[in-house]
Amino acid sequence: MKRITWLALMAALLLWACGESDPSVESDTDTATDDTVTDDTVTDDVVIDDQTDQSDQTDQSDQTVTDDTLPDDTEPDETPDLSDVEGPDTDNGNCFNLGTTYVKGDLADVATGISLEVRSNGWGVLLDTLTMDTEGTITLNVPEDNPYDGTTPSYFIYETADGFFTNAAYAVFGDTITVDLDPVMPDNLINGRIFMVQSYFGPTALSDTAITVVDTNNALIGCFTTDGTGRFVINMPAGDYKFQFTDMDMALYDEAVTTTGPGDYLDLRIQAQAQMAKPNIYLYPLETTEVSVTLGFPQGGFITTSIPEYGDGWQVTVTPDGIIDGLYGYLFYEAQQADHYQYAEGWTVAKEGLENFFRGNLAAYGFVGREIEDFIAWWIPRLTDGPCYDIYPQTRVEIDPFVTLDIVPAPDTLQRLFYATRPTGDCGSHLAEPVIAPFIRDGFTALEWGVILR
């Protein structure tokens, strides 16, 4: 009896399960799933800016503008495509090692005849050159007519002496610093230190960086790696060379170096390149138009990545509401070039206030709608390196000499705005505030924003 009851129960369960899985019965859940609109077909770049009327929105309704084709989700600044850029061979696995481990040992370690090159931290100008007979302490009371923060002079100091590695120090007026230099290795080796120098602010040691050495014909000579202080000790004959490397900001360098041979000391102060991070170019012709866009670098530089592919320039079709080739909300690129922008005028903003600041500031410069939203979505999550930021605006007056923008047919109005950003622990107001010139959108309008990372 128990066996029959058990079999009956199993049969009932089986019939119930089959009824639920009958393919001829379509559930409400299945029907809804078939018609679900996903993020792959409706995205933030079908947001039309504030100047576009409802008819323009209707005209664009049939276009598929997806996150898979827009630059927003590519995050190229984290994994840039450098396939078209000739860069250094930093794979040292098969590269002859020129380096020698630095060992201070019993080398004479008290420098004499020390020179202190005192420069303004903020303007970069040489304020004074001090001397010390030997290592020890010194109080810095070097006057400055126009301190960068408007009150107290701030310095960076190169400390040098024959037979010793150069050191870089920071101080403000009245500080007492200790000068203690390390001796170079014996004369049968080449010693040196590499600093990455900004135009206005103090240097940063190029630490723990793989360097590839080639001759003037680009033939590989060997490789070495700087230590944690940017120093190197190498064994290399006299000659003309190039040091090739990628710095901490992923900028590429090909620095010419000349040595007379063992016993040389190479004090390399290399001008740091500015990284133009994620400039976006927005185009709004009055009617659907074939547009040519080209960039130039009169002072040197190159594009490191672009969307769509830049090639010899962009040749694109643009609708009045700014949709490019039916896919993109803007033209995107990143570039590397010398940094000679202005660092005298700007604003100091607390990290937690950056979003509100940029929304208002971009609007003041004439940006609207999705142009502002694109900036906020990309940059606010990435500006997290300090409690506050110094923000220096660069407009066409500062940008055009270094990065030209040629658009054909020429727009009636063009706005270019790059923000040079620098994290700072000085959250007080210490910059001269810029005057923002009004920008009126009229006719075929083009706008570009970007960020210069310092």
Spell out the domains of the chain, with CATH numbers in brackets.
44-73+274-453 (no CATH), 92-271 (2.60.40.10)
Q: Are 405 and 298 in contact (CB under 8 A)?
A: no
Report d(CA 293, CA 32) in Å as an integer: 44
User: What average pLDDT is seen over the chain?
Assistant: 81
Cβ atoms of residues 181 and 167 within 8 Å: yes
Could you tell me if residue 301 is left (phi over 0), alpha (psi between -120 and 50 degrees) or otherwise beta? left
pLDDT tens-digit series, residues 121-173: 888 899 999 999 999 999 999 999 988 777 899 999 999 999 999 999 999 99
Query: What does the pLDDT look like over 175-191, one tens digit per residue?
Result: 999 999 999 999 889 99
Confidence of residue 35 (pLDDT cuts 50, 70, 90): very low
Q: What pLDDT does residue 453 have? A: 75
Contacts of 139 (CB under 8 A, 6+ apart): 174, 175, 176
Is 332 in a helix, a strand, or coil? strand
CA distance 449 to 417: 5
Q: In this predicted structure, what is the pLDDT of residue 430? A: 85
Is the pLDDT at 9 greater than 70? The verdict is: no
> What is the layout of strands, in order, in the sheet containing 314-318?
314-318, 289-296, 404-408
The 10s digit of each residue's pLDDT in 41-66 is 333 333 334 333 333 333 333 333 33
Structure tokens at 325: 């080739």
Give the pLDDT of residue 302.
Answer: 86
Residue 178's contacts (CB-CB under 8 Å, 6 or more residues apart) are: 136, 137
Distances in Å between the alpha carbon of 113 and those of 119, 136, 176?
19, 12, 19
Q: Specify whether the CB–CB gap between 392 and 341 falls below 8 A.
A: yes
Cis peptide before 308 (omega within 30 of 0): yes
Query: 3-class secondary structure for 5-72?
Result: HHHHHHHHHHHHHHHHCCCCCCCHHHHHHHCCCCCCCCCHHHCCCCCCCHHHHHHCCCCCCCCCCCHH
pLDDT for res 280 = 96
Of 148 and 368, the one with more pLDDT: 368
Percent of the chain with pLDDT over 90: 60
Q: Which residues, including other chains, have CB under 8 Å from residue 134's CB and lie 6 or more apart?
A: 110, 111, 112, 114
* Cα dihedral: 400, 404, 405, 410 (round 10): 80
